[in-house]
Structure 1
């Protein structure tokens, strides 16, 4: 279990910011490789192997955008010293070798980085979730959100009012390819498990995000536009820290 936990977090997760809490993101800070990389990637591989239908979906309409995202991620990680490419094989910081399989672009991209990856495409007036690798959900299920628009994705989040929904949709409409954005959330959990799906129709499990647990779970959520397809990427880097490792807790 300790292998999936971080000791530090590169922002103050307890800072109070009004929703939707969006800030500009430096491209260099988009993808993070931290001390939990090996443990979290092992958990991701196990989920992709054993529960793929629960953590992966891609509509054929999102295939080209997924290929574009894979290319962007490969370029980004190869700028680091801890990824090495030889032909179509990338050796990752934990020693795993990932074949660059363009027939399965979204899964290939997700096997390179800690971030969960969601692809959204504009359909009418709203962005729709056309693909995702979601191995570390915090109390939601990919099957219930796949091919749904932003408002549907956020049901039944209590703080997601009509006003905030409109602001978020404007945000997705306006995000520029050269100016990514980010936000974060934070909740206390009793269970440090990364894979915590929950149906919107089920009551919240006692201890999950209840405010008094021994683990802080914080998601660094990045929003970026792919320049060629115009699709929006919503990526999620999950931090889980013991309470004693959280400054100010």
Structure 2
């Protein structure tokens, strides 16, 4: 679903993150340590993201929020960590007001002492990130609760209650029994409370929709038919780079893991204004060109890869 009529993502002059620049390789874990001070990222789009969450909660509540009944203490732990962090880290945006948090310059007030909503859902109304709670069980780490308003081609309902290895089954070389899946399991098991981590993903989409769910059946159909994402109009004008900034943080009391996902949407054309456009666009084109068939199918880029590489080549040559 698209943003409400009249709403737009505020376009930054330059992309905030460029994981396609050769600094990391696609379809690798590429975890980096994260300074806890930088846990959450804000920009001018906060209200747009929160308004879209409001719309999705009102129209598709069962598709964007799930929870196991016994996760409320851990959800509460997330809210109790997040609220004071935001007030201290972003005092120009968040302010304590009575028993909750006020978002300055808006009519938004999120109750944090005794929220009428599930605590994780209340926490999600404070930040642009999606919030996923992972819990250890005999079968590994499973998705026990989550607010997912901005999925990048996956379905919260299909992943709810499933193990980490099963969640990653559609991802080339990440599914159950692979070396990467075993490594991810160990990373989750050994994650230290005091040391959160982060990683990035990228994809390309037509238009600036934030809510991009995809069922397993749709993914199989897309991989079989390999349709183009873009119309016959100019591809560069339609293409948006979708960046996922993911963080992992182990909760000190429950020992559950909070997985946050922050989506950034940048038009592909913004690269033409980047001072390092030649090297960045060339690296991006090289990464696209190097993707194998399974990887292209997973990203939904099989039909469009060559055209996208050509556009990036023109940007690289324009310096």
Q: 1:93 deviation in Å?
A: 4.4
Q: Tell me the SS of whatever aligns to 1:195.
A: coil
User: Which structure has the larger Rg over C-alpha atoms?
Assistant: 2
Q: Specify which structure has the bigger relative contact order, considering alpha-carbon pairs within 8 angstroms and separated by 6 or more residues.
A: 1
The RMSD of aligned alpha carbons is: 1.9
1:52 aligned to which of 44, 61, 76: 61
Taking structure 1 as reference, are residues 171 and 112 closer, same or farther at Cα in structure 2, changes over 3 Å only?
Answer: same
Q: TM-score w.r.t. structure 1 length?
A: 0.93
Provide the rounded CA distance (Å) in 2 between the counterparts of 1:238 and 1:92: 20
The structure carrying a bigger helix percent of its residues is 2
Q: Is 1:219 matched with 2:235?
A: no
Q: Is the 8 Å Cα contact of residues 4 and 37 (structure 1) preserved in structure 2?
A: no
Within 5 A, what are the aligned runs for 1:165-176? Answer: 165-176=181-192
Cα deviations across residues 36-82 of structure 1 (Å, max 9, x unaligned)?
A: 11111110111112111000001012111100001111011111211
Long gaps (5+) in structure 1: none
Provide the rounded CA distance (Å) in 2 between the counterparts of 1:103 and 1:36: 24
For this pair of structures, how many residues does the alignment match?
A: 247
Provide the rounded CA distance (Å) in 2 between the counterparts of 1:228 and 1:98: 23
Within 5 A, what are the aligned runs for 1:38-49? Answer: 38-49=47-58
Structure 1 runs (4+) deviating above 4 angstroms are none
Q: Is the 8 Å Cα contact of residues 130 and 261 (structure 2) preserved in structure 1?
A: yes
Provide the rounded CA distance (Å) in 1 between the counterparts of 2:61 and 2:116: 18
Long gaps (5+) in structure 2: 282-319
The structure carrying a bigger strand percent of its residues is 1
Provide the rounded CA distance (Å) in 1 between the counterparts of 2:169 and 2:116: 33
Provide the rounded CA distance (Å) in 1 between the counterparts of 2:40 and 2:256: 18
Provide the rounded CA distance (Å) in 1 between the counterparts of 2:134 and 2:213: 20
Q: TM-score w.r.t. structure 2 length?
A: 0.73
